Amino acid sequence: MFSVLHRVLAWSVVFGLLLPVVIVLLLGLAGLLAGVRDEAGGLICLRIAMGLGVGWVSAIAITAVTVGVRMLEQTENARTNSAEESSEKKV
């Protein structure tokens, strides 16, 4: 399970960092297209940027949840290891 959490965390951080850059570029392109009177192209770029914005918010939420689960898992592993060590010392 650790490797799955690690992969999810890594990808969500990558998406969380890269999607704002792509969104800004798309918004700039939408403005440029609207400036040259290509309303359809500008509207498409705006809608794609909104969809990626939803993806960005989702990536941030997934990152927060994954970090929380990973911290809980590490805490549980630490408790289990300390309990095993203390039982070994008693024997």
* Domain range list for the chain: 13-74
DSSP 91: -
Written as one string, the DSSP assignment of 21-44 is HHHHHHHHHHHHHHHTT-HHHHHH
pLDDT tens-digit series, residues 30-67:
999 999 999 999 999 999 999 999 999 999 999 999 99
Distances (CA, A) of 67 to 3, 8, 58, 61, 78: 13, 10, 14, 10, 16
Distances (CA, A) of 5 to 14, 44, 52, 62, 80: 14, 35, 23, 11, 20
pLDDT tens-digit series, residues 3-24:
888 999 999 999 999 999 999 9
Confidence band for 75, pLDDT divided at 50, 70 and 90: confident
Give this prediction's pTM: 0.77
